[in-house]
Amino acid sequence: MSDTRELLYREALNEALIEEMTNDETVFIMGEGIAERGGSYKVTVDLLEKFGPKRVIDTPIAENGFTGAGVGAALTGMRPIVEILFIDFSMLVLDQIVNQAAKFRFMSGNTARVPLVLRTQGGVGNGLAAQHSQSLEAIFYHIPGLKVVMPSDPYDAKGLLKSAIHCDDPVIFIEHKLLYMNKGMVPDKDYVIPFGEASVKREGEDLTIIAWSAMVPKALKAAEILKEEGISAEVVDPRTLVPLDKSTIIESVRKTEHVLIVQEAIRRGGVASDISSIIQEEAFDYLDSPIAILAGKNIPCPFNLNLEKLVVPQVEDIVKAARKSAYK
Amino acid sequence: MAKKKTINKDFLISLYSTMIKIRKFEEEGTKLYRQGHIRGYFHPYWGQEAIASGILSAMNKDDYVTSTHRGHGHCLAWGADLVRMFSELLGREDGYCKGLGGSMHIADYTKNNLGANGIVGSCVPIAVGAALGIKIRDENKVVTTFVSDGGCNIGSFLEGLNLASAWKLPVLFVIENNQYAVSTPIESSTGETDLFKRGLSFGIEGIRINGNDVLEVYETANKYIDYCGKNSYPYIIECLTFRKSGHHINDPGTYLPEDKVNFYRNNDPLNIGKKHLTKLAGLSDEEINNIEQETDKVIEEALKVALDKPEMEAKDFLRLVDEY
Ligand SMILES: Cc1ncc(C[n+]2csc(CCOP(=O)(O)OP(=O)(O)O)c2C)c(N)n1
Ligand SMILES: [Mg+2]
């Protein structure tokens, strides 16, 4: 089709930012090294030239402070996008996000709104070690008042970031460091992806694999291998964990009767466990095997690359778990 | 507490040797990185060697030190073993952290080196806590915590300053002001670029010195480590310096202004150290060359040993999971 073209994940995000900042002058962005340098992952290139230093702000290393400033600006008519370089550093801003941003709408009896997007980036990379490799979506998932978005490809990244900027509530928008250079088709024309709509990334009959963020391309690779073995896997990407599209998940499980949930984050207290409990409650009668979860190991991420591979699910692990779950 | 050292020939040589060791370690590390033997983050300490060498040689080995993401120099000046340093960068089990930590997390808790840290500023309150323990145990020790200009803007640093003054703790805050936080120049991240003044509003005195002159660094450190210990009170030494390259190995640092790059190239801490050796210790060029060649040999041998070290085995690692 002539009205789509191939973009990198980071380029798709960049386009969403440019479009939204062009459309709405209350949108501005701040973070470390995002203006002059265009961001560590080049998501914010050209923004400074296009929109100037008032709306594209290089911050000091003061995450709690500038995130709080984002909350204040959001409460008073702006639509800030705050970039936290690594999700690991978002642990420094938990008060502003959890106690402040997430609460104001409720505590004010719905008179206050906090249209803030916190863009951040998580997951295991290549030897970045324990303080730069975490998947912490469960922490935000746990907090009422926050939306949690984790796009897995360029198309979703652009459409979801635009929705995040339109959203009147705080959104935790979690990118993945290994996805920035992935390619995908993105339409020329303007589009948004509403929150709460899962995407069936691949249709199948024998088994549902639920995965998000960087686990989606891995699950899709696993599905290719499974196909050769005669197992037809459906891959469902919720795309937004809050709100969660339960109906697409349940519908898929009813069809395949087998389900494997794959998450990069460590298993304990993770989102996969919660999705599993939802399926168990709402589709128990349709299940033909126990709900399987493949997750990161309950341990900090090691620096050594060979050991790092052991702590998060790899394609072969997904294939193995899927075989078992589908009884094949 | 501060060591009493006479500034004689041997001592000047030891200050210089530490600097040259750090420089060459970073040079070899860079090669390993380019060859793909080292992955992840690697923030070279080069350009700032005089600070680690000067400050840490003024401390006693039972004092404590905390470092930053740019920590190789601190570890080496604290006396780290080269084989275990290289092994850690290479992810080998013989490394200081068994290959689990890597460049950004090298520590030696058995030697009171509380380690590098991947979170800017977070070492500062930790240093304060170490000093609190010293005070509670009634010991005569000092804690030195390193931070750079970027780290001076984060809450951890500012809260740490206040805690150290409120509780009257022997903490030496060393600000390695290399004037950049990644690509962000200091002028655009704070309205007060005299960073030692950060302490004044908390009742902490401070001084700014030439961080590239190892002797000036040593003498200042010696004086104020003594001050911190004797008075059980914090102090700030701001060392003006500059990175010798980009923020990390993969950053070409093209944003660094040429005049500053040139100025600091001409004021390289190694050259200043060399001048001291010639003028104050009377060493000939040949003698200085010999020190360098000796260091080359030691580094080369350590690297060879480290490259032969094994990684932690998967089964041993997986056993750790049960502990978490
Ligand atoms: C809390 C936190 N925010 C951001 C980062 C990412 N980061 C790593 S080093 C660095 C720059 C630090 O600058 P500075 O403190 O001046 O140290 P230098 O690199 O100059 O030694 C940044 C922003 C981090 N590691 N921790
Ligand atoms: Mg700096």
Domain boundaries, chain A: 7-187, 199-327
Q: Residue A188 pairs with which residues in a beta bridge?
A: none
Q: What was the pLDDT predicted at A1?
A: 53
- Asked whether residue B3 is assigned to any structural domain, the reply reads no
For residues B58 and A236, what is the distance between their CA atoms, to the nearest angstrom? 61
Q: Which two tokens stand for residue B8?
A: 């004689």
- Asked whether residue B212 is assigned to any structural domain, the reply reads yes
Q: CATH no. for residue B37? A: 3.40.50.970
Indicate which residue's Cα is closest to atom 15 of ligand 1: B150
Section B236-245 average pLDDT: 98
Q: Residue A172 pairs with which residues in a beta bridge?
A: A118, A148
- DSSP secondary structure letters along B190-232: -S---GGGGGGGGT--EEEEETT-HHHHHHHHHHHHHHHHHHT
Query: Is A305 an 8 Å CB contact of chain B?
Result: yes
Give per-residue pLDDT as tens, B57-90.
Answer: 999 999 999 999 999 999 999 999 999 999 999 9
Q: What was the pLDDT predicted at A39?
A: 95
For residues A128 and B101, what is the distance between their CA atoms, to the nearest angstrom? 9
DSSP conformation class of A111: -
Question: Has residue A44 got a pLDDT over 60?
Answer: yes
B190 to A306: CB separation less than 8 angstroms, yes or no: no
Measured in angstroms, the CA of B215 and the nearest CA of chain A are apart by: 31
B100 to A33: CB separation less than 8 angstroms, yes or no: no
pLDDT, chain B, mean:
97
For residues B296 and B138, what is the distance between their CA atoms, to the nearest angstrom? 43
B101 to A129: CB separation less than 8 angstroms, yes or no: yes
Q: Which helix (H) or strand (E) holds B287?
A: helix B285-307
Q: Which helix (H) or strand (E) holds B174?
A: strand B171-177
Q: Name the B residues in 118-157 with CB < 8 Å from any A CB.
A: 118-121, 150-151, 153-155
Overall number of domains in chain B = 1
CATH number of A199-327: 3.40.50.920
For residues B253 and A270, what is the distance between their CA atoms, to the nearest angstrom? 39
- Asked whether residue B2 is assigned to any structural domain, the reply reads no
CATH superfamily of A7-187: Thiamin diphosphate (ThDP)-binding fold, Pyr/PP domains (3.40.50.970)
Q: Which two tokens stand for residue A56?
A: 């594209």
Give per-residue pLDDT as tens, B298-312.
Answer: 999 999 999 999 999
For residues A137 and A148, what is the distance between their CA atoms, to the nearest angstrom? 7
Q: What was the pLDDT predicted at A327?
A: 85
Q: What was the pLDDT predicted at B6?
A: 84
- DSSP secondary structure letters along A119-157: EEEES--SS--TTS----HHHHHTSTT-EEE---SHHHH
Closest CA to A12 of A151, A198, A194, A174: A151
Return the ∠ at Cα A282 (arms to A278 and A288), rounded to 5°. 100
Domain extent at residue B229: 9-323
3-state secondary structure of A1: coil
Does the annotation count A142 as an active-site position? Answer: no
Residues B316 and B97: beta-carbon distance below 8 Å: no
ipTM score here? 0.96
How far apart are the CA of A66 and the centre of ligand 1, in A? 15
DSSP conformation class of B108: B
- DSSP secondary structure letters along A226-269: HHHTT--EEEEE-SEEES--HHHHHHHHHHH--EEEEEEEESTT
Closest ligand 1 atom to B176 CA: 21
Which residues does chain B have within 8 Å of residue A304's beta carbon, measured at their own beta carbons? 91-92, 99-100, 102, 311-312
Q: Name the A residues in 19-78 with CB < 8 Å from any B CB.
A: 32-33, 36-37, 40, 58-65
- Asked whether residue B265 is assigned to any structural domain, the reply reads yes
Section B101-114 average pLDDT: 97
Q: Which two tokens stand for residue A298?
A: 């309950």
B71 lines ligand 1 (CB under 6 A): no
Tell me which residue has tokens 């399926």.
Answer: A279
pLDDT confidence bin for A264, thresholds 50/70/90: very high
For residues A12 and A159, what is the distance between their CA atoms, to the nearest angstrom? 9
Return the ∠ at Cα B87 (arms to B83 and B93), rounded to 5°. 120
Section B290-319 average pLDDT: 98
> Which residue of B38, B153, B157, B322 is the best one to mutate when testing the A interface, meaning the one whose CB has the most A CBs within 10 A?
B153
A41 lines ligand 1 (CB under 6 A): no
Question: Has residue B3 got a pLDDT over 70?
Answer: no
Strands A183-187 and A4-8: antiparallel
Give per-residue pLDDT as tens, A214-247.
Answer: 999 999 999 999 999 999 999 999 999 999 999 9
Closest CA to B58 of B16, B15, B108: B15
B118 to A129: CB separation less than 8 angstroms, yes or no: yes
- Asked whether residue B102 is assigned to any structural domain, the reply reads yes
pLDDT confidence bin for B4, thresholds 50/70/90: low
DSSP conformation class of A285: G
| Active-site residue, selected from the candidate residues A20, A132, A166, A264 | A132
pLDDT confidence bin for B1, thresholds 50/70/90: low
How far apart are the CA of B182 and the centre of ligand 1, in A? 7
